[in-house]
Copies of this chain bind each other. A is one copy, B any other.
């Protein structure tokens, strides 16, 4: 198994990939687009992508990219995020003038950052990449917010561990592959659909699930490009696609949806964590 992830070594996506399969080869990519491309072109067997954080919300770019590609979702992973403030060894917090990290990480440490009023906060494309920046440019007075492993990889010292504002900070990742995998153990299905532009259409769409007691805890809407104020809706169903209730609800939805596509049916992280290790 070869898994592509976005970021530098030490990125949270790397940790999630290891959590998914601790003996996989991991390939670092610069962007989410490149992760999708690596899978589509067969350079790796799988790609891992963050789709949602419990504090920051959805990573919409990856929803858009799922739609542009034809790569099925074959699994998911959740990891707890612990952000750390790190700098060149020997640096003291009161010497800091700049802090670098990904905008989502900065947002997740907002309260902590407010306790450093004289520090300039700068957004970068990557958490571990910020640690690399501080190391590569030997930035005295510069700090990064990243994982503990990023500090190890780039030889930085952790000045303050666990600086995220909320303890319950979890990121959910999906795993995509070029080919669908055996989905008999699937207990989660992700679909995307669009609706006719008429009153009550969204309510009707949700009714195909509610009338079958299928719980939907979340619905994500994304604009349809080139059609102002029309939306695609993404939902996660807590059932495998072969479960009769799920299959019937999707047939029912297809009766009136303008478009409907199943992005994947796969074992949820909950079921995967509960399974004996040998089956994972």
Contact = CB atoms under 8 A, between A and B. Distances in A.
A158 to B, nearest CB: 24
A79 interface: no
A190 to B, nearest CB: 15
A123 interface: yes
B225 A55 contact: yes
Contacts of A166: 225-226
A170 B217 contact: no
Nearest to A238: B199
A36 interface: no
Interface stretch (A82-90, A135-143, A202-210): A202-210
A234 to B, nearest CB: 11
Contact of A222 (B57, B199, B202, B219): B57
A213 B229 contact: no
B207 A203 contact: yes
Interface string A207-223: 10110010111111111
Q: Which 7 A-B pairs have the closest CB atoms?
A: A203-B210, A54-B228, A199-B215, A166-B226, A168-B228, A203-B206, A200-B210
